[in-house]
Amino acid sequence: MSAGTSQYRIDGPSPSVSAEALEEIGRRTFIEAFGHLYSASDLEKFLTEKHSAVAYSAVLNDPASAVWVAYGDAGDLVGYLTAGPCALPVDNMPANAGELIRFYITKQSRGAGLGGRMLERALSWLHEHFDHVYLSVYSENIKAQRLYERHGFEKIQKYFFMVGEHADPEFIMKRMTPVD
């Protein structure tokens, strides 16, 4: 079982982390969580487009976006979360909508409360900057859906998320409760 949450340090919403380090943790955690779902070519196309240092550099330099990273006690990067303006295909999306965009923790650091802590920090930031908060989650990722539901999100819509040429059924969720 993972150790307690206090061993982790969270840095954000403007962390001192390189785009290259985000590329590494982004690729690694996506492969760890979902890599088995895709063909090698779909996976590589997606990672090259979406998890490149160039893509992360754009996020780090975007004043409308935020990034949180988590370090283990050895100073190793164990997770990251990104947020910003909502780019999901939400039906009749209201103005000033934000999105919890990416949220990944390495396998060995999951289940110790770190995700909950990162989520709370990101949700506070999102509600400070946006009037509505959305996210999307793989339809079979029940564990993440449960975590989001505990933090006030509800499923509102289905859509397909593309990984290369592969279409994943996903739920769009909206946060229904304000921050405490």
Ligand X SMILES: CC(C)(COP(=O)(O)OP(=O)(O)OC[C@H]1O[C@@H](n2cnc3c(N)ncnc32)[C@H](O)[C@@H]1OP(=O)(O)O)[C@@H](O)C(=O)NCCC(=O)NCCS
Query: Near ligand X by CB under 6 A, which window of 47-55, 124-132, 140-148, 153-161?
Result: 140-148
Rounded Cα gap, residues 45 and 48, in angstroms? 5
Strand partners, 62: none
- The residue within the footprint of ligand X, chosen from 22, 59, 78, 112 (CB under 6 A), is 112
Give 63's DSSP letter.
T
Residues 2-41 that bind ligand X (CB under 6 A): 4-5, 33
Query: Near ligand X by CB under 6 A, which window of 13-21, 120-128, 141-149, 160-168?
Result: 141-149
Helix/strand/coil for 7: helix
Query: Which residue carries 């969270």 as its tokens?
Result: 10
Site membership for ligand X, residue 130 (CB under 6 A): no
Write down the least CB distance from residue 124 to ligand X, Å.
Answer: 16
Sign of the torsion angle spanned by Cα atoms 44, 46, 50, 51:
negative
- The residue within the footprint of ligand X, chosen from 143, 156, 167, 177 (CB under 6 A), is 143
Answer for the pair 148, 159: CB distance below 8 angstroms, yes or no: no
Binding site for ligand X (CB under 6 A): 4-5, 33, 103-105, 110-116, 137, 141, 143-144, 146-147
